[in-house]
């Protein structure tokens, strides 16, 4: 970091190149492009696949808005598919139903991309989704904002699955609270020819990037071949990212340890449902999302959050489903029940504090606060 500040490069330069190389090697991706955020990576992925007006993108309502906003930015239509009750990831069976229905009913809409989100850091059912992509000729953009370092069937998210045709782009977030952070930042990973195309979109649509232009081997000449965007990462951010990458294993081990303690404490309580980790998945544990069992708990989710807040425990809700937000609700005339699983689960989820910086005492504080709430008369019974 200090050497970057002293060097001639503050913005995109050698540290970014090194970070791209080391990150790609870490996740097993053939190539990667460092960008300003996961949102810009998702936008670039759509541009690279040529998604535009008349196209549709299949994705999940259970996500952060940015992955759906960028579909709107390119003039395409998001088509939401309800989620699996256990993982809250896009349901491949429902995605297939939607694709069958669309191919029969709506000649005007061409579904071009499948955009699954590895929610909370739990990998989606990629085998089923990639099979669908192949069958229906779809490109795949995986939102891996939460999924570092997640594995599916022994492979890191980002490592190509041999059976797929390789048209998968993976988008990561290095936002402040993510498993690896550069303050703000993101990465796009995938096949080299696609990543190089995204690089052009991400730096003004110029045929040569600034590093090549201003570097020793570069020249002053460049051409604008598209009306691109400015999504490049700075060397300052990459310098942080390189350090974070070295610590990622340790961070992840600490997250797992905290999750183990939470699970041990909460799984005996009938009031809660603890998160799943399917056998074929290694969870990145970006978020720990507890679900309330309303039949065994007199408090609503919102009241539970307030009770935790009163005990100095900060929580959040990930996420308010896309179809409930006014922009999408009004534009597409969605009703809450259109995605019944997402809507039902939304009402009973709460994300507990989870960060590698938490001490054992911090974890104990969270557990004790939850037990204290449950033990009170309104909290319902203790028995499992």
Residues recognised as catalytic: 178
For ligand PLP, give the closer residue by CB, 63 or 351. Answer: 63
The distance of closest approach from Cβ of residue 85 to ligand PLP in the complex, given in angstroms and rounded to an integer, is 19
The distance of closest approach from Cβ of residue 369 to ligand PLP in the complex, given in angstroms and rounded to an integer, is 25
The distance of closest approach from Cβ of residue 124 to ligand PLP in the complex, given in angstroms and rounded to an integer, is 12
Pairing, β 281-282 against β 186-190 = unpaired
Query: Is 169 exposed, middle or buried, given 0-12, 13-18 or 19+ CB atoms closer than 10 A?
Result: buried
Size of the site for ligand PLP (CB under 6 A): 14
Q: Which residue is it, tokens 């020249």?
A: 219
How far, in whole angstroms, is CA 114 from its chain's centroid?
14
E strand segments, the chain: 31-35, 55-59, 77-80, 110-115, 139-143, 151-152, 155-156, 168-173, 186-190, 272-273, 281-282, 288-292, 349-352
Among 37, 48, 232, 244, binds ligand PLP (CB under 6 A): 37
CA dihedral 97, 138, 186, 253 (to 10 degrees): 60
Pairing, β 110-115 against β 155-156 = unpaired
Could you give the CA distance from residue 94 to residue 83 in angstroms, rounded to a whole number? 8
If one counts every other C-beta atom within 10 angstroms of the C-beta of residue 313, the result is 19
For ligand PLP, give the closer residue by CB, 175 or 343. Answer: 175
For ligand PLP, give the closer residue by CB, 160 or 186. Answer: 186
Cβ density class 120-153: b for 16+ within 10 Å, e for less: bbbbbbbeebbebbeebebbbbbbbbbbbbbbbe
Residue 114 forms beta bridges with which residues? Answer: 58, 140
Could you give the CA distance from residue 16 to residue 237 in angstroms, rounded to a whole number? 8
The distance of closest approach from Cβ of residue 364 to ligand PLP in the complex, given in angstroms and rounded to an integer, is 28
Scanning 33-41, 267-275, 306-314, 366-374 for contacts with ligand PLP by CB under 6 A, the matching segment is 33-41
Among 4, 12, 32, 39, binds ligand PLP (CB under 6 A): 39
Does residue 186 touch ligand PLP according to CB under 6 A?
A: yes
Scanning 34-42, 85-93, 321-329, 331-339 for contacts with ligand PLP by CB under 6 A, the matching segment is 34-42
Scanning 60-68, 210-218, 330-338, 344-352 for contacts with ligand PLP by CB under 6 A, the matching segment is 60-68
Task: Please answer whether residues 351 and 288 qualify as being in contact, where contact means their C-beta atoms are separated by less than 8 angstroms.
Answer: yes
**Binding flags for ligand PLP, 211-250, as an x/- string (CB under 6 A):** ----------------------------------------
Among 48, 173, 179, 237, binds ligand PLP (CB under 6 A): 173
For ligand PLP, give the closer residue by CB, 84 or 307. Answer: 84
Does residue 271 touch ligand PLP according to CB under 6 A?
A: no
Does residue 117 touch ligand PLP according to CB under 6 A?
A: yes
Could you give the CA distance from residue 43 to residue 40 in angstroms, rounded to a whole number? 5
Which tokens belong to 139?
Answer: 């490109």
Among 33, 38, 47, 88, binds ligand PLP (CB under 6 A): 38
The distance of closest approach from Cβ of residue 96 to ligand PLP in the complex, given in angstroms and rounded to an integer, is 23
The distance of closest approach from Cβ of residue 146 to ligand PLP in the complex, given in angstroms and rounded to an integer, is 6
DSSP state of 123: P
Among 20, 143, 209, 235, binds ligand PLP (CB under 6 A): 143
For ligand PLP, give the closer residue by CB, 40 or 273. Answer: 40
Report, in this order, helix, strand and coil percent for the chain, each rounded to 5. 45, 15, 40
What residues numbered 62-91 form the site for ligand PLP, per CB under 6 A?
63-64, 66-67
Among 83, 132, 133, 145, binds ligand PLP (CB under 6 A): 145
Scanning 16-24, 61-69, 86-94, 206-214 for contacts with ligand PLP by CB under 6 A, the matching segment is 61-69
Residues contacting 374, CB < 8 A, separation 6+ = 269, 271, 297, 380, 382
Residues contacting 51, CB < 8 A, separation 6+ = 57, 71, 74, 76, 112, 113
Among 9, 19, 23, 175, binds ligand PLP (CB under 6 A): 175
Q: What are the residues binding ligand PLP (CB under 6 A)?
A: 37-39, 63-64, 66-67, 117, 143, 145-146, 173, 175, 186
């Amino acid at each position: 970091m200090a050497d970057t500040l002293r060097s001639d490069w503050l913005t995109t330069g050698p540290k970014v190149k090194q970070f791209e190389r080391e990150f790609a090697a870490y996740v097993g991706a053939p190539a990667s492009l460092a960008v300003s955020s996961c949102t810009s990576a998702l936008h670039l992925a759509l541009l690279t696949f040529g998604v535009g007006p008349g196209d549709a993108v299949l994705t999940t309502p259970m996500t952060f808005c940015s992955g759906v906003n960028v579909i709107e930015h390119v003039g395409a239509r998001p088509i939401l598919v309800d989620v699996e009750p256990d993982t809250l990831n896009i349901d491949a069976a429902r995605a297939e139903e939607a694709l069958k229905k669309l191919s029969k009913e709506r000649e005007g809409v061409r579904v071009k991309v499948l955009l699954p989100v590895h929610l909370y850091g739990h990998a989606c059912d990629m085998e089923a989704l990639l099979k669908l992509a192949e069958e229906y000729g779809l490109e795949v953009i995986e939102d891996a904002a939460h999924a570092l370092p997640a594995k599916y069937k022994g492979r890191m998210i980002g490592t190509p699955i041999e059976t797929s045709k390789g048209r998968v782009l993976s988008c990561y977030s290095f936002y402040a609270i993510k498993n690896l952070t550069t303050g703000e930042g993101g990465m796009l990973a995938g096949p080299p020819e696609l990543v190089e195309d995204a690089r052009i979109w991400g730096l003004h649509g110029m045929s040569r990037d600034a590093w090549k232009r201003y570097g020793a081997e570069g020249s002053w000449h460049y051409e604008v071949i598209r009306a691109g965007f400015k999504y490049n990462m700075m060397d300052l951010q990459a310098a942080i990212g390189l350090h974070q990458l070295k610590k990622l294993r340790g961070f992840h081990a600490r997250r797992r340890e905290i999750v183990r303690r939470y699970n041990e404490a909460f799984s005996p309580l009938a009031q809660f449902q603890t998160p799943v980790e399917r056998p074929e998945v290694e969870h990145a544990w970006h978020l720990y999302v507890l679900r309330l069992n309303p039949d065994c708990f007199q408090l609503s989710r919102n009241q539970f959050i307030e009770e935790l807040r009163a005990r100095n425990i900060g929580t959040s809700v990930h996420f308010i489903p896309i179809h409930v937000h006014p922009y999408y609700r009004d534009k597409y005339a969605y009703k809450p029940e259109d995605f019944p699983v997402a809507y039902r689960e939304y009402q009973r989820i709460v994300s507990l504090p989870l960060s590698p910086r938490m001490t054992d005492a911090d974890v104990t504080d969270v557990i004790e606060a939850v037990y204290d709430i449950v033990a009170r008369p309104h909290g319902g019974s203790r028995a499992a």
